[in-house]
Structure 1
Amino acid sequence: MKSLNIENVTELDWWESRDITTISGRTGQISCLPAQHMTARGLFDRYHTLWASWSFESGGKNIWFAGDTAYRSYSRNGQRTPSCPAFKDIGRLRGPFDLAMIPIGAYKPRYLLSPVHVDPAEAVEIFQDIKAKKAVGMHWGTFVLSSEDILEPRDELRRITKEKMIDFDTVVLGGHRGI
């Protein structure tokens, strides 16, 4: 950031928070929270930095942005590891959230992409773990990054959330949704 002449930078570790004031004068607190993802910016720096999710609390509203995250890993034969416990910790220590933005796409094949991306069913598990009231599915439908059909994440999420009767949906491509 400093090489780009951006000087007002604060580095946070997981579970650290900072009070902020937005350009419009609104005050709040931003928190760096865990996520599960491989990190690297070059060939020789794997796992040298944290991958994070973020929350923003202001005016009695609490929002969580998952960023790019996984929930558990699958082997080539379909065996799965336990889920990442950090999401239940986020819900217990920082939730509930009025709105969560959770990735739902770029997940097939699972043995290859499960360490870095969630599928719609895992996104719903994260929704429940973090104690979200409503959520928007993101990280789908923009680029073909994996082998599932480009609309499969949205369609599968809608099937699951209708069955579970929870407020977790996507927006029309290019659209928006308020709290």
Structure 2
Amino acid sequence: MTQQSESTTSTPAHDTDAPPARSPLAPSTAPRPLGERRVWPRSFHDRLTAPLPDLKSMARFAREGSIRPGPEGLADIPRLPFAPGPLPRVDARTIAVSWAGHASWVVQIGGLTVLTDPVWSRRILGTPARITPVGIPWSALPRVDAVVISHNHYDHLDAPTLRRLPRDTPVFVPAGLGNWFRRRRFTGVTELDWWEAAELGGVRFDFVPAHHWSKRSLTDTCRSLWGGWVLTDSDGLRVYFAGDTGYGHWFARIGQRYPGIDLALLPIGAYDPRWWLSDVHCDPEEAVRAAQDLGARRMAPMHWATFVLSAEPVLEPLTRVRAAWQKAGLPREDLWDLPVGGSRTLG
């Protein structure tokens, strides 16, 4: 349970009881102050929805697992969708999303430009270099008004990219991750627990649960939280950014608390072998089920076509998510399967 500061009292932020019915414009919690200093528990192991791999599992993975597709699975790299274009020009009542690759989006909402899990580096620790370039040049970005981080894994929290930002950029991060940013002299750091929110420029930033975990070094397993973000503008338009997650009950809970999600940015890659990754990474069919559980009107796939993190063929996530979407009988125009560098607008 979160340890609250002395000046605040609240019910436990990770209470999982279903909330009462409410209007889409009446979120269930009041926004917390920006930049609030909090005292957090030393570990968030109690938030795991599946055990982390034990020694037996690791031995099996070392014996038979593969973290890369074979030559046939890599042969489609030149065919991966890459179509960089200019960022849309939108007003404060229009939402635009642009995919830079992996889990990095430029979300223009409520007049703000928000980056999600920004990774503009060519390679990350322990992973081969990108197989597609960044879809949006850093020089093409407008002023960044805020950054949201889902968790601290290196493919979602990239220090070289974050060093490019002014240190007064507002950043919204999971509980326990604030000191990482403060050590790098960021001054506008807001840490949130699950089901908590903050507000900036008329846009709400709600932090919501995910089926995942956190680790950045040998000694910090689950020392910070993990999750996704629901961004809501003043007109009630909502974008859900899932971060990194397996499939499970949280999607239905999120849909109950935040009805009317207009667009869900959901991961579809890094899923094979399933016995190793199913607890923490959705496969394409599960991502479509998650969109339905959320009650989302549209889905945009992510977390594929950028880094080779697992054994499935590089183009397979796209073909499988399209097939799953069609099998579910969902309108084709509501699957925003963007190329890296692509954009769509929502008014």
Give yes or no for TM over 0.5: yes
Residue 68 of structure 1 deviates from its aligned partner by: 0.7
Q: SS in structure 2 opposite 1:178? A: strand
Counterpart residue identity of residue 165, structure 1: G
Partner of 1:175: 342
Partner of 1:41: 216
Q: Could you tell me which of 226, 229, 254 is aligned with 1:54?
A: 229
Residue 116 of structure 1 deviates from its aligned partner by: 1.7
Residue 125 of structure 1 deviates from its aligned partner by: 1.2
Counterpart residue identity of residue 63, structure 1: V
Partners in 1 of 2:211 and 2:251 — Cα distance? 10
Counterpart residue identity of residue 182, structure 2: K
Residue 91 of structure 1 deviates from its aligned partner by: 0.4
Structure 1 segments of 4+ aligned residues over 4 angstroms from their partners: none
Residue 94 of structure 1 deviates from its aligned partner by: 1.1
Larger Rg: 2
Partners in 1 of 2:242 and 2:341 — Cα distance? 19
Structure 1 residue 14 corresponds to structure 2 residue 189: no
Partner of 1:3: 183
List per-residue Cα deviations over 1:21-49 (Å, max 9, x = no partner).
Answer: 1xxxxx11110000111211111221222
Q: Could you tell me which of 82, 98, 109 is aligned with 2:273?
A: 109
Partner of 2:246: 70
Partners in 2 of 1:128 and 1:138 — Cα distance? 17
Residue 154 of structure 1 deviates from its aligned partner by: 0.5
Q: SS in structure 2 opposite 1:127? A: helix
Q: Where in structure 2 are there 5+ consecutive unaligned residues?
A: 1-180
TM-score (norm 1): 0.86
CA root-mean-square deviation: 1.2
Give % identity: 41
**How many residue pairs get matched?**
162
Higher relative contact order (CA 8 A, sep 6+): 2
TM-score (norm 2): 0.45
